[in-house]
């Protein structure tokens, strides 16, 4: 499958959000973990906490003269004046602090968020719309703090007339994406939010799901877009 803008966007978000290549590959579907990593590198995405490259040595003891298929053994004589390995003073500029997500900081007044609502930087994966999703322990137990009396989720979109555009998002309306980004009629749910969440009650149920072991993922997870998720 080709790397569409959307897929790339998701890849970026998840990668920067801390998701593993496997998770990303799994989420995107139809791509291998290696493909994701390869693409990530090609995109210039930085290498996050990688297990194999924890420390960084100044010198390169054994670069990699491994050529299993003996293809191009000699291409660089590499004079190697032995001593004095010129180190390039590359300024290791790294990205600024991780930006969690749609910083939805609803200063909840009368809606006691059970989870103290402060620890959200533990992104585990990204949902369909590229929206970040958390792990189970984060917001699982106290799921339904929302018995809002006035709710109109089911058919939130009154009409095409007042589609909720990106610019109209607020802490008060559901940010669930409707349709594909980029399409002319792409908009957001716009229903009243489940207090404390960025989505309405209905979409909260979709957005916040427990991460299951890789082997036991639900096959037909709710897909917000008509997503090209062919599996």
Partner DNA sequence: CCCTGATTCGC
Partner DNA sequence: GCGAATCAGG
Q: CA 183, 189, 195 angle in degrees (round to 5)? A: 150
- Pairing mode of beta strands 123-126, 132-134: antiparallel
Alpha-carbon separation of residue 169 from 38, 129, 177, 193, 203 (angstroms)? 35, 15, 11, 11, 15
The binder of DNA chosen from 51, 79, 182, 184 (CB under 7 A) = 51
Q: Collect all residues with Cβ–Cβ distance below 8 Å to 120 and sequence separation of at least 6.
A: 100, 101, 134, 138
The one-character DSSP state at 82 is S
173 backbone dihedrals φ, ψ, rounded to 5° = -115, 155
Taking residues 164 to 203 in sequence order and writing x for each that binds DNA by CB under 7 A, - otherwise, the string is: ----------------------------------------
Smallest gap from residue 26 Cβ to DNA (A): 9
The one-character DSSP state at 14 is H
The binder of DNA chosen from 6, 16, 35, 225 (CB under 7 A) = 35
Smallest gap from residue 18 Cβ to DNA (A): 8
For DNA, the closer CB: 47 or 140: 47
Taking residues 8 to 27 in sequence order and writing x for each that binds DNA by CB under 7 A, - otherwise, the string is: ------------xxxx----
Smallest gap from residue 84 Cβ to DNA (A): 22
In this structure, what token pair is assigned to residue 204?
A: 């909260």
64 touches DNA by CB under 7 A: yes
31 touches DNA by CB under 7 A: yes
37 touches DNA by CB under 7 A: yes
Smallest gap from residue 190 Cβ to DNA (A): 34
């Amino acid at each position: 499958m080709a790397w569409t803008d959307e897929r790339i966007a998701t890849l970026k978000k998840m990668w920067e959000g801390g998701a593993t290549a496997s998770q990303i590959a799994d989420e995107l579907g139809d791509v291998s973990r290696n493909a994701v990593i390869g693409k990530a590198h090609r995109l210039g995405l930085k290498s996050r906490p990688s297990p194999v490259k924890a420390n960084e040595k100044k010198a390169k003891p054994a670069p990699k003269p491994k050529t299993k298929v003996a293809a191009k053994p000699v291409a660089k004589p590499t004079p190697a004046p032995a001593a004095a390995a010129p180190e390039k003073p590359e300024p290791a500029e790294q990205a600024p602090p991780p930006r969690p997500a749609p910083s939805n900081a609803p200063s909840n007044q009368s809606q006691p968020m059970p989870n103290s609502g402060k620890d959200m930087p533990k992104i585990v994966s990204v949902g369909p719309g590229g929206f970040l999703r958390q792990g189970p322990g984060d917001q699982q137990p106290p799921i339904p703090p929302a018995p809002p009396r006035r709710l109109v989720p089911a058919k939130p979109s009154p009409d095409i007339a007042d589609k909720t555009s990106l610019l109209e998002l607020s802490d008060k309306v559901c940010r669930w994406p409707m349709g594909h980004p980029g399409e002319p009629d792409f908009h957001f749910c716009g229903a009243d939010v489940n207090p404390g969440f960025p989505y309405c009650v209905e979409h909260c149920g979709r957005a916040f799901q427990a991460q299951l072991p890789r082997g036991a993922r639900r096959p037909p997870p709710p897909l917000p877009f008509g997503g090209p998720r062919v599996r």
